[in-house]
Homo-oligomer: A and B are copies of this chain.
Amino acid sequence: MAEWFWVDGAQTSLVSADDRGLALADGIFETMRLEHGVLCLGNYHQYRLTEGLQRLAFRDPDGIAKQALEAVSSWALSLAADYEGSSLRLSITRGSGPRGYAPSASAPPRFIGRLSTGLPALQLPACAGVADIAWPTQPALSGLKLIARTEQVLAAQQLSLSGYDELLMANQRGAIVSTTSGNLFFRRGSQLVTPDLFEAGIAGTRRRYIIECLAKACEMSVSVTDVFPEMLSEFEEAFFCNSIIGIRSLANVVYGDRKATYDSVAAAEKLRPAIHGMNH
């Protein structure tokens, strides 16, 4: 695997220590899949970046998101065109700032890119447990991919010490929100169910793509609702998705002293071929 960094247009692996992303998590990011150097579902990433910048009250969210994404994509294409798959992370922080919480009125945002060649291979259905840490409740920022990701870090750390392939994360009311790094879908007949993200969670690009386009194209409906652990056994199939792995099925979920088992991977297989964009 090769890896490169890019900061504000220059290929460098150093960032100013007064960056507000580093100091206060004042920023957002996207992790994006490239195929032969070309961004998959770039419009979905741009949409979420714009929404994040808006909710963090950056000036000109549209312009900044567009400018950052174009610049980092063209840098990535120059390096990754010869690789079948790679991943590109773009962070947009509030740039340099003085001491204290209030942003500088004049500092430009900072764009940070990280390009890594290679993508994970398709993996077998995952055996999942449940993370000890729950998502925080914050409707005002829910859905965004903020730099502030403490809960997922703690869950990923627990995962790496557990015997599981994945962990599900609940919200403060105990409803299941996500895995450590993906959005969840459950299937009953031709109906998909995905957790409501009103209070907590990241509104993933692939989740949105399934809800808005793919499910219908695959003759399924989607409902967005609370999914509590005791409902896990009611479904025939479960899978999670993110921009890098695409879709991975769950073989089972162990929660408390119970276990939900899923024998079907039918919806996952139907959705997978198009999960990174139908026309590429």
Contacts and interface: CB of A to CB of B under 8 A. Distances in A.
Interface of A: 5, 7, 12-26, 29, 31, 56-57, 87, 89, 91, 93-94, 99-103, 105, 112, 114, 116, 133-134, 136-138, 140-141, 146-157, 159-160, 172, 180-181
A134 B137 CA distance: 10
A52 to B, nearest CB: 10
A24 B157 CA distance: 13
A137 B136 contact: yes
A159 B138 CA distance: 20
Contacts of A152: 24, 101
8 contacts: A22-B93, A23-B91, A23-B147, A25-B147, A26-B150, A87-B99, A101-B153, A138-B151
Nearest to A89: B99
A5 to B, nearest CB: 4
Given A25-B25, A156-B100, A181-B101, A114 B17 contact: yes
A271 B213 CA distance: 62
Contact of A14 (B17, B140, B181): B17
Contact of A56 (B20, B138, B150, B181): B150
A247 B112 CA distance: 38
Contact of A18 (B13, B93, B134): B13
A147 B21 CA distance: 9
A162 to B, nearest CB: 11
Given A17-B7, A112-B17, A102 B160 contact: yes
A159 B102 contact: yes
A159 B105 CA distance: 13
Nearest to A147: B25
Given A102-B156, A134-B140, A137-B136, A147 B24 contact: yes
A184 B138 CA distance: 22
Nearest to A159: B102
Given A13-B16, A140-B133, A181-B100, A22 B91 contact: yes
